[in-house]
Structures are given as structure tokens and as C-alpha cells.
């Protein structure tokens, strides 16, 4: 292992976006002008001096790979400190790490994106990639669920996706809310209601573990084989380089063998 794997590189926050009451996106660039060579589904470690570091999926990558973003849900001490950061501040970044989504292998197949809450963050680069290579994919269907209308992430993207005739977009909230005239229901139930068929398609699922578990069940009930359903388990990681053992799932380490897996590659308890 190269020692540089453990050394964060300084990166400056160039744009800070409030996505919802507890999620913020941070666009950043390396101070030395280096590019971020990440692929859809890979992750980075972001550190705040004096407060440690945490793992985040790359949630957007500019065409020139100079600017990249992570989307952060406020949960613990480090994420609270990040949420206090403003444009112009410097953080540490190391990575990218991990196995990406095999988007090249999916060419010629339609893709179904299924996200819940902050789980849309690692899926957004997949959407970006497919939209940049429309001739390679027969179609794109997106199902995204949030607790409330105000918890809907990436609102500008959702609006753009709704206008794009290449995309079938379905959004839902968990419970009825004032002013919401769209679909209401949990994501797994919406999958069943839509009758999403496997046909010549692959599905990509990310969200809270319980959502992934029941979404997988709903897809299986509709005839989807596990080898055509992908997920990402980055929430289980810590060090990112296979040293701490926190992300062990049976014989695999999420950070080294994933975070992207097909359902047939992971034990059932990984989604418990």
C-alpha cells in the first residue's frame, strides 16, 4: 500500500448547497489543480482538521474532472462540522476508492435507478453517465422516495429529469403532506405498484439498509434475478482502505470488494 493513500490532499469548497434541512452538497476542487479520477459509485474520505474524517460517495463529477461533489447528511460530529463550513474553506480529501458501478457492461440494456433519501447521492453520477451516453442505453427509469417534499434532494436535477423524454421519473413521499399532489408510499411499495419488469434491464438500488432489503424483495417478486440488481453499501465503511475491518460482511470488505455489489454477491445479513 502506498503511504500516499493515507495522506489527504487539500481541497477548497467552491460551492455549498443546502439540499434539505439535514443534507448539504459540497462542490470542491483540489488546491494543486489535480483531477478527481472517480467513476460512478466510487467514494472518497473527507476530513476536517481536528475532527477526523468520514466516507462519502462522489455525488457529482464535472466533465473535466476538476470539480467534484459530496452530499452530506448531518448525523455525527464530523458531519455537523462540515455543515458549518462555507465556500472558500479547505478540507482534506483522499481517494477515490472502491469498485464502481459497471456502467460499461450495461450498454444495450435499460437501467432502473431506485433511490431513497441520501441514497440518491451515489446514484446521481450513474444518471449523469447514462445521460451522457444515451445512444448506448435503451432507456432510463428513476424511482426516488423521500420522507417529505422538503426532503427531496437535488431538486434542480429532478426537475430536469422530469422534462427529459429519455427518462421515466417517479417520485414519492412516505406519508401525505400538504401541497403534495404526487405519489405517496414507501419505495418498495411503489416498485410493486409500478410493476417494474426486468426485461432487458438492470436495477440499481441505494438508500437506508431496510429500504434496500425490501426493495430487493419487491424486485425479486417481479421476476428480477439477483445478478441484475446492484446496490452500494458505502454507509458501512470507515477507513476506506481495508485496515479497520469495520465494513466486514462475511468474507468481504465493503471498501475493498465494493462498495458496489450485485445482490448475489452479498450475504443476506448485509442488508439487515
Give the CATH number, domain containing residue 136. 3.40.50.80
Task: Print the domain residue range for 225.
Answer: 103-271
The mean pLDDT value for 70-90 works out to 94
- Can you give the pLDDT at residue 145? 98
Mean pLDDT of the chain: 92
Query: Are 82 and 110 contained in the same domain?
Result: no
Per-residue pLDDT tens over the stretch 202-245: 999 999 989 999 999 999 999 999 999 999 987 666 666 666 66
Are 68 and 40 a contacting pair, CB within 8 Å? no
52 DSSP β-pair partners: 48
Spatial distance between the Cα atoms of 254 and 272, rounded to a whole number of angstroms: 15
Q: Are 41 and 260 in contact (CB under 8 A)?
A: yes
pLDDT at res. 5: 65
Average pLDDT of the residues in 194-202? 97
d(CA 107, CA 102) in angstroms, rounded, equals 9
- Whether 70 shows a pLDDT value over 50: the answer reads yes
Q: Kindly state whether residues 14 and 88 are assigned to the same domain.
A: yes
Residues in the chain: 272
* CATH number assigned to the domain comprising residue 62: 2.40.30.10
**What CA–CA distance (Å, rounded) separates 257 from 267?**
13
How much is the pTM? 0.93
Which residues sit opposite 181 in a β-bridge? none
Residues 56 and 117 placed together within one structural domain of the fold: no
The C-alpha atoms of residue 225 and residue 257 are separated, in whole angstroms, by: 21
Amino acid at each position: 500500500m502506498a503511504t500516499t493513500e493515507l495522506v489527504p490532499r487539500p481541497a477548497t469548497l467552491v460551492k455549498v448547497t443546502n439540499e434539505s434541512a439535514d443534507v448539504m452538497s459540497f462542490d470542491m476542487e483540489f488546491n494543486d489543480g489535480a483531477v478527481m479520477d472517480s467513476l460512478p459509485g466510487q467514494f472518497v474520505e473527507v476530513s476536517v482538521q481536528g475532527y477526523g474524517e468520514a466516507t462519502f460517495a462522489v455525488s457529482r463529477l464535472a466533465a473535466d474532472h476538476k470539480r467534484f461533489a459530496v452530499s452530506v447528511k448531518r448525523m455525527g460530529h464530523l458531519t455537523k462540522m462540515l455543515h458549518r463550513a462555507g465556500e472558500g474553506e479547505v478540507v482534506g480529501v483522499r481517494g477515490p476508492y472502491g469498485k464502481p458501478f459497471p456502467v460499461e457492461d450495461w450498454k444495450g440494456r435499460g437501467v432502473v435507478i431506485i433511490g431513497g433519501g441520501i441514497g440518491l447521492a451515489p446514484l446521481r453520477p450513474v444518471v449523469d453517465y447514462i445521460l451522457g451516453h444515451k445512444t448506448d442505453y435503451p432507456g432510463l427509469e428513476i424511482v426516488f422516495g423521500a420522507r417529505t417534499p422538503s426532503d427531496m434532494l437535488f431538486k434542480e436535477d429532478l426537475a430536469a429529469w422530469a422534462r427529459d423524454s429519455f427518462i421515466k421519473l417517479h417520485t414519492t413521499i412516505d406519508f401525505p403532506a400538504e401541497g403534495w399532489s404526487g405519489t405517496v408510499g414507501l419505495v418498495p411499495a411503489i416498485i410493486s405498484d409500478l410493476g417494474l419488469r426486468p426485461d432487458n434491464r438492470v436495477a440499481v438500488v441505494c438508500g437506508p439498509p431496510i429500504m434496500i432489503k425490501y426493495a430487493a424483495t419487491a424486485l425479486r417478486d417481479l421476476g428480477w434475478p439477483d445478478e441484475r440488481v446492484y446496490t452500494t453499501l458505502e454507509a458501512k465503511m470507515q477507513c476506506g482502505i481495508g485496515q479497520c475491518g469495520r465494513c466486514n460482511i462475511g468474507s468481504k470488505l465493503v471498501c475493498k470488494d465494493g462498495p458496489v455489489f450485485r445482490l448475489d454477491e452479498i450475504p443476506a445479513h448485509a442488508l439487515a
